[in-house]
Amino acid sequence: MVTYEQGLPDQVQHADGKRRGGEMCETITSHWGCAADDLSHKSPSALIERLAACRRHGANMLLNVGPEAGGRLGDYERACLALVGRWVRSCGEVLYAGEPSALRCRGRDFVLVHGKQYYYFCHNVAIRGNEHLQSGEPGDGLQTVSGSMPPVRRVAWIDNDEPLGFTQQGESLTIDATRWPYGTQGVVRVAVIETA
In the chain, the largest separation of any two C-alpha atoms, in whole Å, equals 59
Going by pLDDT thresholds of 50, 70 and 90, the confidence category of residue 136 is: low
For residues 67-85, give the mean pLDDT: 91
The mean predicted confidence, pLDDT, of the chain is 87
Q: Is the pLDDT of residue 9 over 80?
A: no
Q: What is the predicted pLDDT for the residue at 14?
A: 46
Nearest alpha-carbon partner for 125 in 11, 45, 41: 45
Q: Give the domain ranges of the chain.
A: 2-91, 97-195
**Overall fold of domain 97-195:** Immunoglobulin-like (2.60.40)
> What whole-number distance in Å separates Cα of residue 55 and Cα of residue 6?
15
> What whole-number distance in Å separates Cα of residue 122 and Cα of residue 116?
20
Position with higher pLDDT, 4 vs 196: 196
